[in-house]
Structure 1
Amino acid sequence: MSTPVLPRRADGATLACLFVLSLLILPARLAVAGLPLSLTPAEILALSLGVVWVCAQMVSTTGVAKGGNPVRTALFVYGMLLLAVYGYTTYLYLPSDELNLADHTLVLYLGYASLLLVMCDGMGTRERLDFVLKAVVIGGTFAAIVALLQFRLDFDLTEYMRIPGLRHSSVEEVPTVISRSDLRRVAGTLGHPIEFGALSAMLLPLAAHLGFQARSRGEAAARWWICAAVIAAGLMFSVSRTAVLGLAGAGLILLVGWSNRRRLVTLGAFLVFLGVMKVLTPGLIGTFYNLFAGAGEDSSVIYRTHDYPFAMREFAKSPIFGRGLGTWYPFKHQVFDNQYLLSLVETGLVGVLGFVGVIVCGIVVALRVRRMSTDPNVRNLGLTIAACLVIPLLGAATFDLLSFPGITSVLFLLVGAAGALMRFERRDQRDRTVISSFHEPADLSRSLIAVTGNGHGRARSESS
């Protein structure tokens, strides 16, 4: 009689998937009604993850990991730096509107930290981590499908996605479809085309990893390659320099780490994809070319660079702790399309160093897992996560990345995934060490038993 299969108990991966789907499927403009703060369902779920993580750390029966992890250490340092910035700036005078924004931004960062901790400690196995990454790719594919409808049919599905209990947040003045060179720049379910393009660049390597992993395991890989094609098309429909620069940086990391065969296959698929896009959307490839060829005279590039002296003057007023987390906002202050400049003004040097430190820690940990592991799929996942985390490092120089919760959440999620991979690899190495330590005494005991048994046999034969 076969043993009945017990239903799987919900764990950190289940909660993380609910967060991911609410983040990428629900329009970014929808916030929960009736709250004093403008919070989306995904942000409330992220805060709930923090409560679950704290409760799980108090008991030992949930299977949640405890103990040191480089990612957790980096997050702790970053969190302490942000609290120092918040304490210093709120101790001084802040206008009521900026003080409210500082409180709201701190709540959002608490949600990001909660997501990272649940990803780092709440995944029981690599299969559960893969489960979350699959949900991320599926959610990104849905957002890309919405973008496809916006770009090709001028049909915005998000306008019809109205859910009871949710209202439009304050960012509804920002359109989801923006014109550029007679083309529509689309945002899918995200808040802005630049955010959508950068996020698509981050998710494309993950979709490719799932396709390669499925093929190596003898599983159906077509679904993940379809997801990769749809996400790549969404990236193109964003008509964003940031997306292309980010994907180029990630692609360079991947090409260095991949085998020659995988490089050739990927480059061939890339050329075919560009050919298909040129046929289906005439003028799109030329628009991207002009974005870079005429970058020196492009108004958006000039706007991004002309405000450097002004940002440095604001930074000089409080270079260590800044003027306050989230206090430099549009409609009151000049917009900085550069997260590094914005962070220098808002959080000073300590905030910029903490932000960069968290991302760099995730990259280093992912690459370290790649060196430690002998499993090709784990090695490729470590390389993929490192490549994905290069994109926000580059993108932060071209737009105010931390002002967009979608890509910021995925950034912290992937850093947490790097921490989980490190934990799994360390556990596997400990298990291998324990097993090898047991093997040697076992072999020695078997040898002693054999010698002792032969001696007893000889004694019995001699006495007889």
Structure 2
Amino acid sequence: MRWVVRRLGLGEHRGAPRAAAFFLVVYAALLLAVPSQLILGPLGAPGTPANLWALGGLLCWVCATIGGLNPVRGPTATRIAVGVLTVAVLAAYANGTISGWYAPPDVRAVTDELWTLVPPSVSDITATMIKAADRGLLSFAGWMAVVLIAAEGVRSSRDLEMVVAAVAWLGTLLAGLGLVQFIWGIDIARYIQIPGLTPNADFGAVMSRSVLNRVSGTAVHPIEFGVVLASLFPLALHYSLHRWGRRGALLPVGLVLVGSTLSVSRSAILVLAVTLIVLLLGWPNAWRIRALMLAPFVLVGLRLAIPGLVGTIVSLFKNVQNDPSVTGRTNDYGVVFELYGEHPWFGRGLFTFVPRHYRILDDQYLMILLELGALGLAATLLLILTGVANGYRARRWARTARSRHLGLALSASILGSAVGMVTFDAWGFPMAAGSSFLLIGLACAAAQLAVEERPRERLAVPIDTTDTDATREATP
């Protein structure tokens, strides 16, 4: 085990990681390595191993905070953002329970399935929505636990880098699994079985688009697979850049980059483009020029290695106006705003826009507007902006070049996942939702560490700018 940790760069400094870092590494492993469809049956969708682990962590955080063991005291930007969103979710839950739910006959999308012709009864809708709202609270509690534990429990840069390295390697594992599916078309559902867990849906099947396999790995859907890998790309790049020259250093960034394209999804390419733009804007000119010079070679290499992939992705954007999946999204707007008018401020409850009684809605922000109302949408944007701002804060105030670059990478990842929420209902996919909140928590931790470690610089001996090692610590 120690050999693995040392070889993967998960423990480059002496000393044992604190409990929070261990918690986050286990959470990331359960989130990315275990198929999201495997759940603890009685709990339904929130019964994934990752969410159960997060709920246990929430209990520990509450006990530690009440008992005075949490070193973070009083209100912080992260606590305020989490608190506002929690109030919005609870208000939506209460408002939906008090007001009740209904499903207009014309809200369903037109399909060939016969069951959509049978109008649901009021009792059926109520029973479904109550269960859905309860599931929403359980999932939300797990997400907020990850944010708070990451933001307040990671107390050293070593622990933060260890978590980032673990996430980068888990993303590599996910991408490698997708590559196997892409090449051989293997259905992994036959091979992954965990005692005590049952699948709540079929998984592991390989879809297709044009002549290419669309893979999902351990994710629910290829879109989720691609978006998650694209949002993790900056962390994989950060890990690879700062282990340059060591054996296997390029494996994470290479596999994650290739894996994000194997979903053959516009959403993944959009997220990847956003992360790259943020990184390019934040890098020094020398890095930016090298990256732009390297980009054509990467595209040519990808085209030669996987014939037809680049052309298929380009065609997705060229024919976007004639794509049924795009027109289907735009046709949802009228339905959304009609239902939004019923509960404009507080919404109807998280997870209560159930596709079976309504329709599939491929826009998480519209989904939040419906389920949590205007208050919930504002609170969600506040939490996302808090994560981005903390990443930028870490980039500005961190003492070392490596920590500053990590702040930039986390900001890029959060912005990428936030843009991805426009193109699909990300919170309905456990891996996409969990990874986005994990990124926010890590950005908050990076900012906190940058602020705490900054005063030490004033007490240090002035650095000789002619020293080679000191010069190497220049920006970004």
The TM-score range, normalised by the shorter chain, is 0.7 to 0.9
Bigger radius of gyration among the two: 1
> Which residue pairs with 2:76 in the alignment?
69
The one-letter amino acid of 2:78's match is: V
Secondary structure of 2:198's match? strand
Identify the match of residue 179 of structure 2 among 125, 134, 148. Answer: 148
**1:224 Cα deviation after fit:** 3.6
**1:298 Cα deviation after fit:** 1.0
> Which residue pairs with 1:21 in the alignment?
29
Q: 1:87 to 1:198 in 2, by over 3 A?
A: same
Assess if the C-alpha contact under 8 Å between 2:387 and 2:443 holds in 1. yes
**1:65 Cα deviation after fit:** 3.5
* Worse-superposed segment, 182-191 or 366-375: 366-375
Instruction: Kindly provide the CA deviation profile for residues 290-336 of structure 1, in whole angstroms up to 9, marking residues without a partner as x.
Output: 00011011111111111211111111121111222211122221111
Assess if the C-alpha contact under 8 Å between 1:102 and 1:326 holds in 2. yes
Assess if the C-alpha contact under 8 Å between 2:232 and 2:413 holds in 1. yes
**1:258 Cα deviation after fit:** 0.5
> Which residue pairs with 1:191 in the alignment?
220
> Which residue pairs with 2:410 in the alignment?
385
Secondary structure of 1:317's match? coil
Identify the match of residue 375 of structure 1 among 378, 396, 400. Answer: 400
> Which residue pairs with 2:306 in the alignment?
281
Normalised to the residue count of structure 1, the TM-score between the two structures is 0.87
Mapped partners of 1:354, 1:159: distance in 2 = 41
CA RMSD of superposed structures (Å): 2.0
Instruction: Kindly provide the CA deviation profile for residues 403-422 of structure 1, in whole angstroms up to 9, marking residues without a partner as x.
Output: 11111111111111111112
> Which residue pairs with 1:446 in the alignment?
none
* Worse-superposed segment, 137-146 or 175-184: 175-184
> Which residue pairs with 2:50 in the alignment?
42
Segments ≥4 residues shifted beyond 6 Å:
none
> Which residue pairs with 2:86 in the alignment?
79
The one-letter amino acid of 1:130's match is: E
Assess if the C-alpha contact under 8 Å between 1:278 and 1:285 holds in 2. yes
Structure 2 residues without counterparts, runs of 5 or longer: 1-12, 102-125, 461-476
Q: How does 1:400-439 map to 2 (within 5 A)?
A: 400-432=425-457, 435=459
Matched, 1:164 2:195: yes
Instruction: Kindly provide the CA deviation profile for residues 21-52 of structure 1, in whole angstroms up to 9, marking residues without a partner as x.
Output: 01111111111245477501111001011111
Q: 1:261 to 1:221 in 2, by over 3 A?
A: farther
Secondary structure of 1:184's match? strand
Identify the match of residue 132 of structure 2 among 101, 113, 118. Answer: 101
Mapped partners of 2:413, 2:355: distance in 1 = 29
Normalised to the residue count of structure 2, the TM-score between the two structures is 0.85
**1:372 Cα deviation after fit:** 2.1
Q: How does 1:43-58 map to 2 (within 5 A)?
A: 43-58=51-66
**1:201 Cα deviation after fit:** 0.7
Mapped partners of 1:282, 1:422: distance in 2 = 43
**1:174 Cα deviation after fit:** 6.3
Identify the match of residue 136 of structure 1 among 163, 167, 176. Answer: 167
Assess if the C-alpha contact under 8 Å between 1:16 and 1:115 holds in 2. yes
Mapped partners of 2:454, 2:74: distance in 1 = 16
* Worse-superposed segment, 245-254 or 35-44: 35-44
> Which residue pairs with 1:399 in the alignment?
424
The one-letter amino acid of 1:356's match is: L
Mapped partners of 2:227, 2:78: distance in 1 = 23
Mapped partners of 2:364, 2:207: distance in 1 = 22
The one-letter amino acid of 1:117's match is: L
> Which residue pairs with 2:273 in the alignment?
248
Structure 1 residues without counterparts, runs of 5 or longer: 437-464
* Worse-superposed segment, 10-19 or 106-115: 10-19
Mapped partners of 2:286, 2:211: distance in 1 = 39
What is the total number of aligned residue pairs between the two structures? 424
Matched, 1:8 2:16: yes
Assess if the C-alpha contact under 8 Å between 2:186 and 2:206 holds in 1. no
Identify the match of residue 182 of structure 1 among 197, 200, 211. Answer: 211
Mapped partners of 2:187, 2:24: distance in 1 = 27
Q: How does 1:323-362 map to 2 (within 5 A)?
A: 323-362=348-387
Q: 1:317 to 1:68 in 2, by over 3 A?
A: closer
* Worse-superposed segment, 424-433 or 88-97: 424-433
Assess if the C-alpha contact under 8 Å between 1:66 and 1:121 holds in 2. no
